[in-house]
Amino acid sequence: MIRVVTVDDIRQLIRKVTLKTFFLRLADRLSQDFARWLEFQKNARLAAYVEGGVLELMPILDHDYFSYKYVNGHPLNPLINRQTVVAMGMLADVATGYPVLVSEMTILTALRTAAISAVASKHLARKNSRHFGIIGTGAQSEFQVAAHAALFPLETVYYYDLDAAAMEKFARNMEKIPYLKARCVPCENGEAVLLQSDIITTATARKMQAHVLSKDAVPAGIHINGIGGDSPGKTELDPAILESAKVVVEFWDQTQHEGEMQQLGGILPYAELWEMITGKKPGRVSDEEVTVFDSVGFALEDYSVLRLVHQLANEFHVGHQLDLIPEPPHPKDLFAVL
């Protein structure tokens, strides 16, 4: 029997442990797993680019567990009342090959993406950061604020989107984050968000080489989480920002083709995130330097959140035990199951 975790099960888990506690536990799990970077067998994700989007498989394993996620990215889906990103994932026991968990991962992807951004911010943002900015108030935006509010004592949240309705939705949802004490301030453009923030996340979805932020507008000392550039030909940042900033990535083999750094023709980043977490390389070294986390999403983040959900689902008896794997009377007599 395999534990299957549905959307409603994730909702129950979050209510039982609280959103803030979930983010804190996930950030801790991500940090622990990235610190074990060399223990994992890693590959860039398998991507199939189709008209209108991308379909991806993201596998990874260590000595104990194998995980993978199926995920898409279709930026025009909202025009037909469909989500841009949906996902499902699985966790399996390496020793036997048996799956132990099948889970929804649309919500979990949003949670882990926000959590890894906040972890990166802890290593790369100024220690006294109090003001958070978000450009792009789509499906990922509230999660980004909630994750950073769990790890930082935020006083202000500045936000902007080309879509006024998305900004209104964002403002309503900010009132539903019980531990968020920050004042939320709508802005007239992205530059206004940028100039007032200590940490900023860019989270746009359109597949194009956009310049959501330009080099001339970037103030000294800011940390930028660029999470919208995540496939070939899809970027958000002025390449001049990358040339002058300290850039950290998740997994260079993947990011060089999909992230903001694809614009620089193979120039290496300062570091991979695991090097910050383990102390192999220092993160921020001055209050004036500009830092960038060029995040495209990596399979280790899915592994971490699936492991956490598996633990919590067992702890709180959440999920459904389903017979997705046959159990014949003898292991060599599969036909008997029919």
* DSSP per position, 7-75: HHHHHHHHHHH-HHHHHHHHHHHHHHHHHTGGGSEE-PPEEEEETTEEEEEEEEE-SSEEEEEEEEE-T
Q: Is there a single domain that holds both residue 172 and residue 275?
A: yes
Contact yes or no for 207/235 (Cβ under 8 A): no
**Predicted confidence band of residue 211 (pLDDT cuts 50, 70, 90):** confident
Give the SS3 label for residue 214.
coil
Q: What is the distance between the alpha carbons of residues 148 and 115, in angstroms, rounded to a whole number?
A: 8
Give 28-68 pLDDT, tens digit per residue: 999 999 999 999 999 999 999 999 899 999 999 999 999 99
Write down the residue that tokens 């194998």 correspond to. Answer: 66
- Say if 112 falls within a structural domain: no
The CATH number of the domain where 91 resides is what? Answer: 3.30.1780.10
For residue 209, is pLDDT > 80? no
Q: Is there a single domain that holds both residue 184 and residue 137?
A: yes
Q: Is there a single domain that holds both residue 260 and residue 331?
A: no
- Nearest C-alpha neighbor of 272 from the set 167, 126, 137, 123: 123
The range of the structural domain enclosing residue 53 comes to 2-107+300-337
Q: Is there a single domain that holds both residue 282 and residue 304?
A: no
Q: What is the pLDDT of residue 212?
A: 80
Q: What is the distance between the alpha carbons of residues 299 and 294, in angstroms, rounded to a whole number?
A: 15
Q: Is there a single domain that holds both residue 290 and residue 166?
A: yes
Q: In what order do the strands lie in the sheet with 199-202?
A: 183-186, 156-160, 131-135, 199-202, 223-226, 291-294, 246-249, 271-272
Catalytic one of 9, 33, 198, 230: 230
Write down the residue that tokens 């949670």 correspond to. Answer: 111
Contact yes or no for 221/288 (Cβ under 8 A): yes
Contact yes or no for 335/268 (Cβ under 8 A): no
- Say if 15 falls within a structural domain: yes
Q: Is there a single domain that holds both residue 270 and residue 325?
A: no
Q: What is the pLDDT of residue 63?
A: 98
Give 290-335 pLDDT, tens digit per residue: 999 999 999 999 999 999 999 999 999 999 999 999 999 999 999 9
Q: Is there a single domain that holds both residue 269 and residue 152?
A: yes
Contact yes or no for 289/246 (Cβ under 8 A): yes
| Total domains, the chain | 2
Q: Is there a single domain that holds both residue 93 and residue 149?
A: no
Give 227-251 pLDDT, tens digit per residue: 987 778 878 899 999 999 999 999 9
- State the burial class of residue 148 (Cβ atoms within 10 Å of its Cβ: 0-12, 13-18, 19+): buried
Lowest mean pLDDT among 167-176, 179-188, 210-219: 210-219
CA-based torsion, 308, 314, 320, 323: positive or negative: positive
Q: In the chain, what is the straight-line distance between the N-terminal and C-terminal CA atoms, in Å? A: 17
> Phi/psi of residue 133, each to 5°?
-125, 145
Q: Is there a single domain that holds both residue 248 and residue 124?
A: yes
Average pLDDT, the chain: 95
Q: For the packed helices 19-35 and 106-124, what is the interaxial angle rounded to 10 degrees?
A: 70
Q: What is the distance between the alpha carbons of residues 243 and 261, in angstroms, rounded to a whole number?
A: 9
Q: Is there a single domain that holds both residue 149 and residue 83?
A: no
Q: What is the pLDDT of residue 56?
A: 96
The CATH number of the domain where 232 resides is what? Answer: 3.40.50.720
Write down the residue that tokens 């067992």 correspond to. Answer: 314
Please state, for a pLDDT cut of 90, what percent of the chain lies above it: 90
For residue 202, is pLDDT > 90? yes
230 is catalytic: yes
Q: What is the pLDDT of residue 204?
A: 85
Q: Is there a single domain that holds both residue 139 and residue 103?
A: no
Q: What is the pLDDT of residue 101?
A: 98
**Predicted confidence band of residue 206 (pLDDT cuts 50, 70, 90):** low
Q: Is there a single domain that holds both residue 32 and residue 164?
A: no
Give 261-280 pLDDT, tens digit per residue: 999 988 999 999 999 999 99
- Nearest C-alpha neighbor of 297 from the set 73, 131, 74, 80: 73
- Say if 325 falls within a structural domain: yes
